[in-house]
A and B are shown apart, each in its own frame.
Chain A
Amino acid sequence: MTDFRDETIQLAHGSGGRATRRLIEGLFAPLLSNPALDAMGDAASLEVDRSRLAMTTDCFVVNPLSFPGGCIGSLAIHGTVNDLAVSGAEPVAITAGFVLEAGLASSVLRAQIEAMAGVARAIGVPVVAGDTKVVEHGKADGMYICTTGLGRVHERADLDPARVRPGDRVLVSGPIGDHGITILVARSEIDLETDLASDSRSVLAMTRALLDALGPGVKWMRDATRGGVATVLNELADAAGVGVAIDEPEIPVRDEVRGACELLGLDPLHVANEGQFVAVVSGEDADHALESVRSVPGGEQARLIGEITEAPARTVLGRSGYGSARVIDVLIGDPLPRIC
């Protein structure tokens, strides 16, 4: 039974917000339904000969191909590794498919593959298979990359939204919004100058430290990519049937990102990240969780930003610090600057 009724696919279906959810839950999930898929994690959880494996797949469509802090090649490896990492897994191998546009300069392709190789080597995950297709000029933004990642689940990991309880705490691994704002500026649709760089990076060392320290005290993790922190927290609230209350003054956001968001009428909570994750940890382990992430290079700016509440269920609230609160909703479509 599918209940996806939209007549055509629109850009909003790919933006990670409500329309994406409708497409996935209304079409893909019911038609392809099976226990591993139905769990709807960042990676599927599989058991093969008593080994717990995680498997994920991802497509990368980025314009421009290179931007401050990263490129489509590095993003493809980081994104795949991060999906495995927040599923509590250590990456074992990655495969990559390439859709190339006729006319793409070989030097550009070479630079992207070199970036992939460099990042994969640094993380210690091999790219073990690949495929290449070439499409006519004008049919792709230079190149698209599709990856699959296979990982082995950490032996102490027990990540499940059903284990999330009121009183648990919400941790974010560092300042949010860098990637989305960097891309917005790099597309040069908007005439802003910043020193910002994408946060594209692997979060593996941080999730590993967290799982080593807390084991089952870590209950849920997500990397906050498309749709930003607001979207993953709403997914959590829905999946766990709980409320999430965020203390807005605690959310780490760089001044450059805040400034750009103020100017453009965007909410940093809706802006994409490529190197930050959100975790729910049990209340009593929260300080230990924070220490363990902060002890990893790159995790120094991690913060506890809120807590799980009983009510209002299935809702994310932002508390202002002066006695008011707002509902933090998922994004509808892509974030568009407000001018007038």
Chain B
Amino acid sequence: MKYVDEFRNAELIKRTAEEIRRLADPDRRYRIMEICGGHTHAIFRFGLHQLLPKNIDLVHGPGCPVCVLPSARVDEGLEIARGNDLIFTAFGDMMRVPGSHGSPLEAKARGAEVRMVYSPLDALKLAQDNPDRRVMFFAIGFETTTPSTALTILRARERGVSNFLVHCNHIMVPPPIRAILDMPDMTLDAFIGPGHVSTVIGCEPYRFIAEAYGKPVVVSGFEPTDLMQSIAMILRQFRDGRCEVENQYARALPWDGNPAARRAMETVFEPRESFEWRGLGFIPGSGYRIREEFAAFDAEAVCEAPGVTTLPSDPRARCGDVLKGALKPSECELFGTECTPETPVGALMVSSEGACAAQFKYAHVTISA
């Protein structure tokens, strides 16, 4: 298949693995965080961690939007929909994410009107097709999906759609990276930057990681050859004593990202003072809210959620430490006992991009390929 197979070329992957072995200094460790959940998924799907020398650790970062969404937001979204008789729509990713009273899918099984959509435009279309109902899009995602929500709200206004609402949970990549870098127990050496997010925000926002914190960043694509090449590029920076932001994903990613998408985002959204991240707590300036000018589309502004109660999360769940890379999933007390992919306590166990779900699937097996 074009645009896929050439980036999964077995010979090229093997050659890059050899190059990585040559570049890695055997006398040191490399702890490299792949920020993006899409990378975590690809690493496990293609078994790339098995191709690396033992002194390179891949640490799974906070870039899986459903993994970091706190229960309170899921609870509020579902309660707003229930209390105001809205049709709740969300991406498939969201459907199994647990709130404190269950996931959207469980709410659906109990009779709530929950629909999966592929794009926010599908939710808008649902609103236009059902003028006597109100439709809410439960918006999640980093800067990758934020522009499409922004454009959908702009289109709703343009077309005068009055029965469409958005519950905004959009978040940003750079603030949690800064938060992780500021943690006292941080031991990371370098970062693999998120390719898709960067097609919007560009590479410039990562400069502080290299310049202020002295950690190399290589923004990467999602195929096996991309990730292997990015790791080699990081090792070359160490070998040459360089520390900079490099773009491995140049075939899709201009250095400056997509200014038009950013303009749409900035037109519709503004940073929240603070937003809660599951496991990481409240991080200043890390989430988006809908600007007042578009309040008519803002479910949080228009609807009340009187009945919403969020149960305190299980204090034994150590999602935060796992997200920071300070704890391996299997070192958490709940891992594999009370917290499994079927009965997840934390969202890291829900998504195939979550470090815990990945570990749960692979940890019990020693693979000799």
Contacts and interface: CB of A to CB of B under 8 A. Distances in A.
Interface in A172-198: 189-191
Given A258-B1, A323-B369, A338 B92 contact: yes
Interface string A261-288: 0101100000000000000000000000
A314 to B, nearest CB: 10
Interface in A182-235: 189-191
A336 B369 contact: no
A191 B122 contact: yes
A339 B145 contact: yes
Interface string A311-323: 0100101011111
Interface residues on A, range: 35 or more
B116 interface: yes
A43 B120 CA distance: 44
B47 A337 contact: no
B4 A258 contact: yes
B282 interface: no
A320 B365 contact: no
B199 interface: no
A2 interface: no
A18 B342 contact: yes
Interface in B3-50: 4, 10-11, 13-14, 17, 41, 44-48, 50
Interface string B227-250: 000000000000000000000000
B365 A312 contact: yes
Given A320-B46, A321-B10, A312 B366 contact: yes
Given A332-B342, A333-B96, A189 B116 contact: yes
A36 interface: no
B142 A340 contact: yes
Interface string A229-266: 00000000000000000000100000100110010110
B44 A322 contact: no
A53 interface: no
B118 A191 contact: yes
Contact of B13 (A8, A322, A326, A336): A322
B245 to A, nearest CB: 24
A106 interface: no
Interface in B209-262: 224
A333 B369 contact: no
A18 B360 CA distance: 14
Contact of A189 (B51, B93, B106, B118): B118
A129 interface: no
B208 interface: no
B362 interface: yes
B45 A336 contact: no
A265 B352 contact: yes
Contacts of B361: 327, 329
A19 interface: yes
Of A8, A329, A333, A338, chain B has the most CB atoms within 10 Å of the CB of A338
A189 B365 contact: no
A132 interface: no
A329 B352 CA distance: 12
A336 B96 contact: yes
B137 to A, nearest CB: 12
Interface of A: 8, 10-12, 18-19, 189-191, 249, 255, 258-259, 262, 264-265, 312, 315, 317, 319-327, 329, 332-333, 336-340
Given A322-B17, A340-B141, 8 more contacts: A190-B118, A322-B11, A322-B224, A323-B17, A326-B45, A326-B46, A336-B116, A340-B145
